[in-house]
Structure 1
Amino acid sequence: MSLVTLLPFIVLIGAMFLMTRSAKKKQQAAAQMRTEMQPGTGVRTIGGMYATVKEIQEDTVLLEVAPGVHAVYAKNSIGAVLDDAEYNRIVHGDDSDSTLVPDDASSLTDGEPVEADAADDVAKIDLGKKAEDETVAKEAKSAETKDAKADGESDAK
């Protein structure tokens, strides 16, 4: 057989080797993360629930999902062990590094009040039915004038 025929098989075997090696590294890192877990640390389960570790057994973990609410989970269901700052930021909303968003928009104007005169310069638009009513009235008056001319009446003064 020629080298050209064997080349696709060699590439496929090499790719499979690299993928399995990568998967094994991820599994080892996850297992090490779970063994380093200690009571009091914040975790995220693979389902996306955040909780605090209370007790660690051989294959299970007791998690406090809310104050006074405990649940037993398999160790393999822990997706990530979080550091205290990240856990508090996500769960409690404690984010001392971020800037606070004000309750009102006063800080967005750089402390300069908007003058009332600037708002008066803008032409006001009436969105009511006034213009439509005027059009209907003009059409009715025009129709009356046509009827009067048809009856022989004259508009001459």
Structure 2
Amino acid sequence: MNLVTLLPFIVLIGAMFLMTRSAKKKQQAAAQMRDQMTPGTGVRTIGGMYATVKEIGDDTVTLEVAPGVHAIYAKNAIGAVLEDAEYNRIVHGTTDDLTIDTPVVPDDASSLTGKDADETPKLDLGKKDEPKDDEPKDGKADGEPGAK
């Protein structure tokens, strides 16, 4: 057989070998990450839910998803084991370790203008409150009777 005809098959087999090797490495890294879980550790599931580990079984893990609410998940459903500071920042909104250099934007715009909400002038949007004397009240220009 000719070497040129075998070359595509050799390249294909080599690519498959590399893909399975990298997939195995990812699986080993994920298993090692899950082994770091201990009760009290903050985790994120593959569905994006944040919870605290309560108990660890052989193939399952019990998570506290809210105070007093426990759910049983497969260990494979754990997407990330989080450090305490990161978990508290995401779930509880604590910024103990963070320093904010940018100014905080206020929730209401009245503090930006320096005026109270009662002092805000009304804008003329072109609406007419009442018809003028020379305009007919029924909206007809020629004075014909009829409803709008």
- TM-score, structure 1 normalization: 0.66
1:14 shift after superposition: 1.3
Q: How do 1:57-136 residues align onto structure 2 when only pairs under 5 Å count? A: 57-95=57-95, 97=98, 98=100, 100-105=104-109, 108=112, 124=124, 126-128=126-128, 133=135
Q: Please give the alpha-carbon distance, in whole angstroms, between the structure 2 residues aligned to 1:106 and 1:95.
A: 27
CA displacement 1:75-113 (0-9 Å, x = unmatched): 22211101112212222222453554322235656xx77
Aligned to 1:38: 38
Q: Please give the alpha-carbon distance, in whole angstroms, between the structure 2 residues aligned to 1:32 and 1:49.
A: 20
Count the aligned residue pairs.
130
Q: Please give the alpha-carbon distance, in whole angstroms, between the structure 2 residues aligned to 1:14 and 1:107.
A: 65
Partner SS for 2:37: coil
1:70 shift after superposition: 1.5
Could you say which structure has the larger radius of gyration?
Answer: 1
* Unaligned stretches of 5+ residues in structure 2: 116-120, 144-148
1:33 shift after superposition: 0.6
* Unaligned stretches of 5+ residues in structure 1: 114-118, 142-157
Structure with the higher fraction of residues in helix conformation = 1
Q: Please give the alpha-carbon distance, in whole angstroms, between the structure 1 residues aligned to 2:47 and 2:57.
A: 20
Structure 1 residues 13 and 108: alpha-carbon distance in aligned structure 2, compared to 1, 3 A threshold? farther
Q: Please give the alpha-carbon distance, in whole angstroms, between the structure 2 residues aligned to 1:83 and 1:28.
A: 20
Q: Please give the alpha-carbon distance, in whole angstroms, between the structure 2 residues aligned to 1:83 and 1:59.
A: 22
Structure 1 residues 61 and 125: alpha-carbon distance in aligned structure 2, compared to 1, 3 A threshold? closer
Q: Please give the alpha-carbon distance, in whole angstroms, between the structure 2 residues aligned to 1:27 and 1:125.
A: 63
Letter in 1 for 2:32: Q
Q: Please give the alpha-carbon distance, in whole angstroms, between the structure 2 residues aligned to 1:84 and 1:94.
A: 11
